């Protein structure tokens, strides 16, 4: 049985997301919406369970709460952002891909922008300076490749996970997503933890979803660049050996400079957030290197 977990701060696109999820064919076995920050819960629907809290939760904490509420009968867990709209046939190809390959832990399809005019992403990889990037971002959506493609991790925007792999990759406290991430790059961290255990991830054709994008991030102010900059280090140092982090340090620092320049084009709070991130970087790296987690650490930056 498949369950869908939707984390939300009560954004304006939640109703469209819920309408789309309710129209999926085949339908999921359960739909759980985790609403936090004191937002007004969506109108009750017979097919949807709502968990509401006045405390504002980041993506990681909200998804963990949703997964914790699922019963043992669930063998697949889908994550859908509240500003994402899956097509009616989105779920079927993802379930079929997991059924066809027992080594697959996570799959996603093509995610486009809200208009369907450009690709938002087809899975996560690292670029030449070890920045997490969405494959094919900005490209024309059609035609799709006709075969699945391996990726380092799938995007938490709209993806399906094997529940057994999630349980195996959980941290020592049982959390699926590391709460220190808050939001951003926690999907990369999870993908790397599953990779350490021998699981793989893939993009598969035929599973379309659209994504408004940054509907929540734009309201986060300084937290948006802080999480983007620091969480990349948390994800990589949390899954690489100390020697691998040291060897990759020049590349990682070049990536940091590129990320700061890119973010500064649209957010004036980037420079003070970047200064704070660099000041905290030694502590972030040391703490991440010491994080207990299952599986042998990676000996080099991962490649697809």
pLDDT in tens, 262-303: 988 887 778 888 999 999 999 999 999 999 999 999 999 998
Looking at the fold, whether 204 and 182 belong to one and the same domain comes out as: yes
113: domain CATH number is 3.90.550.60
- Tell me the CA distances in angstroms from 132 to 150, 191, 221, 236, 296, one per residue in order: 15, 12, 21, 10, 22
Q: Which of 218, 235, 260 is the last residue of a domain?
A: 218
- Shared domain check, 234 and 114: no
Does residue 299 lie within any of the structural domains?
Answer: no
Give 211-251 pLDDT, tens digit per residue: 987 444 444 466 788 889 999 999 999 999 999 999 999 99
How confident is the model over 68-87, as pLDDT tens digits? Answer: 999 888 999 999 999 999 99
* Residue 100 within a domain: yes
The predicted structure's pLDDT at residue 283: 96
Q: Are residue 181 and residue 193 in the same domain, yes or no?
A: yes
Any domain includes 294: no
The per-residue pLDDT for range 246-258, each reduced to its tens digit, is 999 999 999 999 9
Q: Is residue 224 part of a domain?
A: yes
pLDDT (0 to 100) of residue 217: 43
Domain carrying residue 181: 2-218
147, 233: one domain: no
Q: Within this chain, do residues 211 and 98 fall inside the same structural domain, yes or no?
A: yes
| Number of domains, the chain | 2
Same-domain check for residues 139 and 162: yes
End residue of a domain, out of 218, 244, 278: 218
What percent of the chain is modeled with pLDDT above 70? 97
Helix (H) or strand (E) segment spanning residue 158: strand 158-162
Residue 114 has pLDDT above 90, yes or no: yes
Does the pTM surpass 0.85? The reply is yes
**182 and 113 belong to one structural domain:** yes
What is the reported pLDDT for 79?
98
Task: Quickly tell me which residue has 């057994």 as its tokens.
Answer: 164
Identify whether residues 109 and 207 lie together within a single domain. yes
Q: Would residue 57 count as lying in a domain?
A: yes
The secondary structure of 70-106, three-state, reads CCCCCCEEEEECCCEEECCCCHHHHHHHHHHCCCEEE
pLDDT of residue 223: 76
Q: Are residues 151 and 10 in the same domain?
A: yes
CA distance 90 to 6: 15
Which residue, 156, 191, 218, sits at the end of a domain?
Answer: 218
**In the structure, what pLDDT confidence band is assigned to residue 49 with cuts at 50, 70 and 90?**
very high
185 falls in which pLDDT band (50, 70, 90)? very high
């Amino acid at each position: 049985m498949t369950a869908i977990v939707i984390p939300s701060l009560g954004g304006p696109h939640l109703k469209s997301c819920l309408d789309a999820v309710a129209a999926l064919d085949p339908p999921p076995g359960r739909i759980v919406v985790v609403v936090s920050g004191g937002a007004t819960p969506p109108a009750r629907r017979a097919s949807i369970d709502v968990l509401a809290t006045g405390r504002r939760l980041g993506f990681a904490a909200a998804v963990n709460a949703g997964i914790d509420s699922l019963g043992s009968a669930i063998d697949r867990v889908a994550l859908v952002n509240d500003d994402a709209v899956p097509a009616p046939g989105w779920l079927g190809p993802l379930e079929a891909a997991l059924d066809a390959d027992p080594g697959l832990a996570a799959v996603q399809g093509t995610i486009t922008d809200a208009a369907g005019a450009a690709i938002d992403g087809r899975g996560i990889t690292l670029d030449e300076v070890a920045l997490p990037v969405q494959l094919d971002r900005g490209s024309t959506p059609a035609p799709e490749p006709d075969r699945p493609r391996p990726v380092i991790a799938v995007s938490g925007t709209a993806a399906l996970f094997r529940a057994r792999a999630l349980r195996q990759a959980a941290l020592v406290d049982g959390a699926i997503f590391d709460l220190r991430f808050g939001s951003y790059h926690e999907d990369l961290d999870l993908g790397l933890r599953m990779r350490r255990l021998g699981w793989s991830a893939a993009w598969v054709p035929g599973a379309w979803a659209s994504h408004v994008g940054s509907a929540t991030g734009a309201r986060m102010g300084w937290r948006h660049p802080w999480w983007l900059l620091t969480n990349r280090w948390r994800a990589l140092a949390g899954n690489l050996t100390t020697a691998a982090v040291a060897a990759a340090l020049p590349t990682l620092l070049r990536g940091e400079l590129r990320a700061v320049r890119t973010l500064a084009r649209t957010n004036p709070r980037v420079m003070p957030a970047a200064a704070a991130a660099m000041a905290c970087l030694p502590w972030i790296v040391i703490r991440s290197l010491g994080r207990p987690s299952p599986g042998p650490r990676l000996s080099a930056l991962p490649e697809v």
